Each structure stands twice: as C-alpha cells, then as structure tokens.
Amino acid sequence: METFLSAAQRQVAIQVSDASGVGAARRLVADFSRQANLDETAAGSAALVATEAASNIVKHAGKGEILVRPVYSGTTAGIEILAIDTGPGIANLAHSIEDGATTAGSYGIGLGAMRRTADAFDIYTARDQGTVIAMTIYGRSGTRGNCAVQLGAVCLPMPGETICGDAWALAAGPTQATLLVADGLGHGPLAAEASEMAAGIMAANPALPPGPAMQDIHLALRATRGAAVAVAQLDLLANRVDFAGIGNIMASIYDKEIRRQMVSHNGIVGSNMHRVQEFSQDWLPDSVLLLCSDGLGTRWDLNQYPGLVRHHPSVVAGILYRDFVRGRDDVSVLVIRERQD
C-alpha cells in the first residue's frame, strides 16, 4: 500500500500576471525538480510546461496562479503543475489544443506542447469562467505504483502565512484507499503540528476503520491544540465508503449529478470529542469523493460545471479552490476517484 502525506507534497502557489510571474513559476519548478532529484529530461519537460502554462495565463487571461507540488508513484518522483485562471476560457478547445493552432484568441502551440510533453494532462475550460490545467511530469527512473485511486489535492496556507495548518493523507493499494483531511485549530506551526500528527497516525495504520482511527488520533492530539478531522475508507471490492468526522470538514460523494453528503459531529479532536460515529455509503465505479476544510466556502456544487465530475481529481480540486476559497483561512481540497487508466 502506498502512502502519501501533504507534509511531503506541499504546494506552493505563484501569482502570475506578467513576465516576472512566468519566470517565478519556471524557477519554482526547477527548485522542485532538484529537490525530487528528477533527471535532466524530466526537469526540462517540467520547466517547459510551467513556462507555457504561465505564459498562456498572461497572454489570454491576464492573471492567474500556478500551483506546484512534488508527487510520487511507487519509487518514481515527479512534479504536478496546476495552471488556474478566471479568464475568458477557450472557445474552441479541440482546435486550440492542436500543435500549430495559432488563430488569434486561441492558446496556440502552447497547449499542444503541454499535452505532448506531460505524462498526464487534463484541462477544463468554460466561456467567461476561465481554465484549469493539470499536468504531471515524472522522472524516468524508478517503478510506478499501482494505486486504486487517482488523487487531486490543493492544500495551501492562508494569505500572509508560510506554513499551512491543514494537512491531508492518503494510503492506497489495488482495491482499498484510506484518506484523511485535518484542519488544526488556528494557523501557523502549532496548527500544522496537530494536523500533520493526525495525518501521520492514520498513515501508520491505514487498515484501521475510520471510527477506531479517530479514537487513536484523538489520544495522540491531546498534547496539541487539536484539529477538525475526517477519515474516509474506500473498499472497491465491497463497493462501500466508511466515514467518520469531527468538526468542520465537508465530505461529499458525487455519482454523476447526484450528491450525497456525509455527516461530521461537532467537537475538536484532541480536546472535546464526545462522540464518534461511522457512516457508510455505496460506492459506484464513477463515484467521486471530496473532503474539504472550512477554508473553502460551502456553496459549491459540481453540477454548476457541466462535465467536470468526469475530469481528473486535480482539475476538480483546482476549480473548487479557484472559485470558492475564502482567502482568510488555510484551505484543503482533497478529491479521489477510481483510477481511469
């Protein structure tokens, strides 16, 4: 079973509105490539797609963000790049994504180069709403993993902070996955200590059901300021999701247009956790599971975005972050679905 922790995959966001933002995005990707020990070819590919993505934001949207984080699959390291804007969108995506398409107003060769260069590529665009592009470039060494699910995550500190008080974790094998989102009380290092401890406890014993896992996390967090925590466990053989939550972590399952909410009880894990209750929901092959901290507004609905639920979880997370981030709190958006490839 592979384990993924936000502490090892921290995102950094770069604001892009001019050429300096393009350069900053390229340098950030280069830094991440060195930290991940990517080979020269992969590092060059990552720099190329980051430059193209940031340049397109400046040319066609005016301003936006580039989010970068390291990713891992088996023993292979990589870089994920999210390009996010609220520009005019792409009127003819099929034409614009072709290499050599340079009609005024299209994204031209940039999109084609990005799709061809990235190991994974997905895009969602809507007229007058903007565009989100998710790309992953992996190193050429190592062996890729065999997880049951695809993951999308945005986890960023509130503006003005450098340390995020939210954390997430995912442990996944061929037929099971356990995921957690934790929101440490307040902001900064002490909030991060609580949330990352919760993530580490879950990751150390991912087979434990959500209810008992919450009890273990509660005991461990008594020495911290506490956190809101939600744990979900997906069993693809039983076609079921088990869930337990305490505090303001929103959890939803989407089956095409149908949304099912999962219930968290009031309290603070590590402090006044009075009741833990597990809930079970059916899981379908096209289900999508979302866990969000309260740094994201609550008035979102994937049905507002035609076809979005079928896109890669990273694109879904990027859209929700773009349109519903509160901007006055740390924010986490975790999205998973069964692997499609």
Q: What is the pLDDT of residues 89-140, one digit of tens each?
A: 987 787 677 654 544 444 444 788 888 899 999 999 999 899 999 999 999 8
Q: Where are the beta strands (DSSP E) in 247-304?
A: 250-255, 258-262, 279-282, 287-292
Tell which wins on pLDDT, 140 or 183.
183
Contacts of 341 (CB under 8 A, 6+ apart): none
Per-residue pLDDT, 141: 78
pLDDT of 331 strictly over 90: yes
pLDDT of 179 strictly over 60: yes
Closest CA to 210 of 237, 238, 178: 178
Per-residue pLDDT, 57: 94
Judge residue 258's burial from the number of C-beta atoms within 10 Å of its C-beta, 0-12 exposed, 13-18 middle, 19 or more buried: exposed
pLDDT of 148 strictly over 90: no
Average pLDDT over residues 61-88: 94
pLDDT band at 334 (very low <50, low <70, confident <90, very high): very high
CA distances from 56 to 33, 50, 123, 128 (A): 22, 10, 13, 16
Average pLDDT over residues 300-322: 96
Per-residue pLDDT, 274: 86
pLDDT of 340 strictly over 80: no
Cβ pair 248, 298 in contact under 8 A: no
Average pLDDT over residues 270-295: 94
- Average model confidence (pLDDT) across the chain: 92
pTM summary value:
0.94
Query: Containing H/E element for 107?
Result: none
Judge residue 222's burial from the number of C-beta atoms within 10 Å of its C-beta, 0-12 exposed, 13-18 middle, 19 or more buried: exposed
Percent over 90 (pLDDT), the chain: 83
Tell which wins on pLDDT, 92 or 68.
68
Per-residue pLDDT, 99: 55
Average pLDDT over residues 170-191: 95
Per-residue pLDDT, 145: 77
Q: Which of 71-75, 88-92, 259-263 has the highest mean pLDDT?
A: 259-263
* C-alpha–C-alpha distance, residues 264 and 275, integer Å: 10
Per-residue pLDDT, 275: 86
Percent over 70 (pLDDT), the chain: 96
